[in-house]
Amino acid sequence: MNLPIGELSRRTAVKVPTIRFYEQIGLLPKPPRTEGNQRRYGKAEVDRLNFIRHARELGFEVDDIRDLLAMSAEPQASCHTADSIARNHLVEIERRIASLTALKGELTRMIDECGHGHICDCRIIEALADHSQCYGDH
């Protein structure tokens, strides 16, 4: 496999500027170049980029992905650190879900209290203008 960056982008659903960014920050190794200075990629880069894209879709931070990639290079090592990274990420997701649930409740209450009259009497506008009218901190 000897792919130019555009084909790598198509095969992995990762935009070209993102691929270049991943190279700059070291998530993706700098590829060999042709005599015409074009980047060329192989199966290893396709697999690695798919891993990175999937991890990003799951919300993992770049530093965590870097650590997970380093661990994947040592298949016989303990997966304790990978488990720890995933558990910490899950805790953060659960925190965000709780925050979004509270936000949903607050917005639902604001909408339910709306009298559908005029802006001068709008509970949504009033609540947005005065945080003390909210039930929770968000």
- pLDDT score for 16: 96
How would residue 123 be classed by pLDDT, with cut points 50, 70 and 90?
Answer: low
Residue-number span of the structural domain to which 21 is assigned: 5-72
Sign for the pseudo-dihedral over CA of 93, 96, 101, 104: negative
Q: Which of these ranges, 41-45, 51-55, 126-130, has the smallest mean pLDDT?
A: 126-130
Structural domain ending residue among the three candidates 53, 72, 91: 72
The answer to whether position 63 is within a domain reads yes
Q: Which residues contact 115 (CB under 8 A, 6 or more apart)?
A: 121, 122, 123
Residues 127/110, Cβ–Cβ less than 8 Å: yes
Mean pLDDT for the stretch of residues 52-76: 93
Is residue 138 situated within a structural domain? no
pTM summary value: 0.76
Structure-block tokens of residue 137: 């901190």
Residue 52, judged by CB atoms within 10 A of its CB (0-12, 13-18, 19+), counts as: buried
- The verdict on residue 22 lying in a domain is yes
91 and 63 together in one domain: no
| Structure confidence by residue, pLDDT tens digits, 69-116 | 999 888 888 899 999 999 999 999 999 999 999 889 888 887 887 767
Count of the separate structural domains present in the chain: 2
| The pLDDT of residue 131 | 66
62 and 87 in a single domain? The answer is no
68 and 122 both lie in a single domain:
no
58 assigned to some structural domain: yes
Q: Answer yes or no: do 12 and 46 share one domain.
A: yes
Per the rule left: phi > 0, alpha: psi between -120 and 50, beta: everything else, 78 is beta
Partnered with residue 33 across adjacent β-strands are: 39
Mean pLDDT of the 7-23 span = 96
The pLDDT of 105-129, averaged and rounded, is: 74
DSSP letter for each residue of 89-134: HHHHHHHHHHHHHHHHHHHHHHHHT--SS-GGG-HHHHHHH-GGGS
Query: Which of these three, 29, 53, 72, is where a domain ends?
Result: 72
- Whole-number pLDDT of residue 114: 73
∠ CA(54), CA(47), CA(12), 5° rounding? 60
Q: Domain check: are 67 and 107 in the same one?
A: no
